[in-house]
Amino acid sequence: MSPQGEVIFRHRLPVRVMHWVNVICIVILLGSGLQIFNAHPALYWGADSRDATLILELPKFPGWATIPGMQFLAMGRVWHFFFAWLFVINGAAYVLYTIFSGHLRRDMVPTKSEWRGIGRSILDHIKLKHPHGDEAKRYNVLQNIAYLSIVFVVLPLIVVGGLAMSPMMDSIAAGWVDIFGGRQAARTLHFIAAAIIVAFVLVHVFEVIVTGLVNNLRSMITGYWRVPK
Amino acid sequence: MKSKPYFEQRRDRRKLLRAALVGLASGTLAGCDAVTQNDTAVEVLRSAESLTRNVQRAIGRRAMAQEFAPADAAPAFRANGTTNPAGDAYAKLAASEFAEWRLKVDGLVQKPLELSLAQLREMPSRSQTTRHDCVEGWSCIGQWKGVRLSHLLGMAQLRPEAKYIVFHCLDQMEEDDEDSVYYESIDLDDAFHEQTILAYELNGKPLPVANGAPLRARIERQLGYKQPKYLRRIEAVSDFASIAGGKGGYWEDQGYNWYGGI
């Protein structure tokens, strides 16, 4: 064993590739999504947009946050829909991979004892106390809850909310969009889901930095990760 | 050669990473703007449009848009784009309640038509309360009454070469540009769809000027910009490359997708 600790193979190639495709997709979908949102920066709850359904009006997002930088709805839509396809294909491949490779069952679903240790895990996260040695080789319970809820709740919600905004998709089984409270409510859910993803990414990047930026980045590029002693 | 102490290596690496991350963040948006200027790259991005259209058409060619109860209609239907066409010609038509107005149906048809508003009102009608979705993001529910486009196309008898229906309008989008007259085009799937109507009534009253008087198209499974107002002529064509900017519609010529089902 080297003096700096044991090195393990942590992330297999498909996971690494899909992770970075995801990074590109999320950045572009967010920027182009804000561009689209700027065309009508208000949110409603219901089927349509009227005073009675209005819930939030926002100022336009600044040009540095949007794709393209200037106000250009048509081009924002072109970017958004191309990367939406890529994002959905990549996400579906990831879900299939996690299920059939055993990654989901083996690494992501928390065990009974991990569930029981959730209180301690919350305290450890608040104190920025991170696991070492063998304990660090497995994702911790909060990490897994975050991953699972993003993959199986928030991402499906953002995709369905996006589809609900398509008038043609709404016609496929007329009225299905009412399950989400109507088209404008689905638009609001799409926006809320995007905000949750931004929050997830911020926490994710924060944890990546405080638990060893170089080590973590290297493991998502080469697959190899040094276990903290 | 003596290597640097470990803490210095770590500091160097950290600097490098920080520079890389800052570069990545500012480079992404600048890079996207550069891509937007590149025609080939934009072509690649636009390829998703035909994928979307083909998939959506495959799963719902005859699907019907959701219909609401008339009571769900918004108190005032939101008007967007042109709300009062400029020029004396339109003002004169409006002053006589469109008695002088005619709708032409021509192009690749066996029997060209020229119809008055009164003649359209005498034809079999369809009423539908539907949700109008604007590309900007808002929606508005309204009750429409009009004649099915398929009825007129049946009367005019399309020639086999006809692939698209082009709507020519009365409103000019830019004051000093005569080539900026609004137009739109749809394929025959939408043209013959049950809910595709030419509406002359909104919420039980004659179509207001702000919403496209005397006649506007309702193409319920597409966004608002695909549903032109102030109609004057319906033309059957085999392709629309020679019309205006060649992209099939006023907004399409400004970069919007021809397929507006999403």
- Read off the DSSP letter of residue B249: S
Query: Is A180 part of a structural domain of the chain?
Result: yes
Closest partner residue to B60 among A37, A42, A172, by Cβ?
A: A172
Q: What is the pLDDT along chain B (262 residues), one digit of tens a residue?
A: 456 666 676 677 667 667 766 666 667 777 888 888 888 999 999 999 999 999 999 999 899 999 999 999 999 999 999 999 999 999 999 999 999 999 999 999 999 999 999 999 999 999 999 999 999 999 999 999 999 999 999 999 999 999 999 999 999 999 888 889 999 999 999 999 999 999 999 999 999 999 999 999 999 999 999 999 999 999 999 999 999 999 999 999 999 999 999 9
Q: How many CB pairs under 8 A join A and B?
A: 146
Whether the pLDDT of residue A226 is over 70: the answer is yes
pLDDT at B22: 67
Query: Is A106 part of a structural domain of the chain?
Result: yes
pLDDT at B12: 73
Q: Which residue of A48, A51, A77 to mutate against B (max B Cβ within 10 Å)?
A: A48
To the nearest whole angstrom, how far is the Cα of B197 from the nearest Cα of chain A? 16
- Is the Cβ pair B257, A77 closer than 8 Å? yes
pLDDT at B24: 65
When divided into structural domains, chain A yields a total of 1
pLDDT at B30: 77
pLDDT at B33: 85
Query: Is A176 part of a structural domain of the chain?
Result: yes
pLDDT at B213: 97
Query: Is A204 part of a structural domain of the chain?
Result: yes
Query: Any idea where the domains of chain B sit in the sequence?
Result: 6-56, 65-253
Q: A179 at the B interface (CB within 8 A)?
A: no
Query: Is A1 part of a structural domain of the chain?
Result: no
To the nearest whole angstrom, how far is the Cα of B166 from the nearest Cα of chain A? 20
pLDDT at A47: 97
- Is the Cβ pair A42, B138 closer than 8 Å? yes
SS3 label, residue B38 = coil
pLDDT at A134: 87
Closest partner residue to A170 among B10, B66, B255, by Cβ?
A: B66
Pull the structure tokens for residue A111: 């065990």
Q: A27 at the B interface (CB within 8 A)?
A: yes
Determine the CATH number of domain B65-253: 3.90.420.10
Q: Which residue of B62, B66, B189 to mutate against A (max A Cβ within 10 Å)?
A: B66
pLDDT at B34: 84
pLDDT at A1: 43
Q: What is the CATH number of the domain that holds A186?
A: 1.20.950.20
Query: Is A2 part of a structural domain of the chain?
Result: no
Domain coverage including residue A80:
7-226
Query: Is A48 part of a structural domain of the chain?
Result: yes
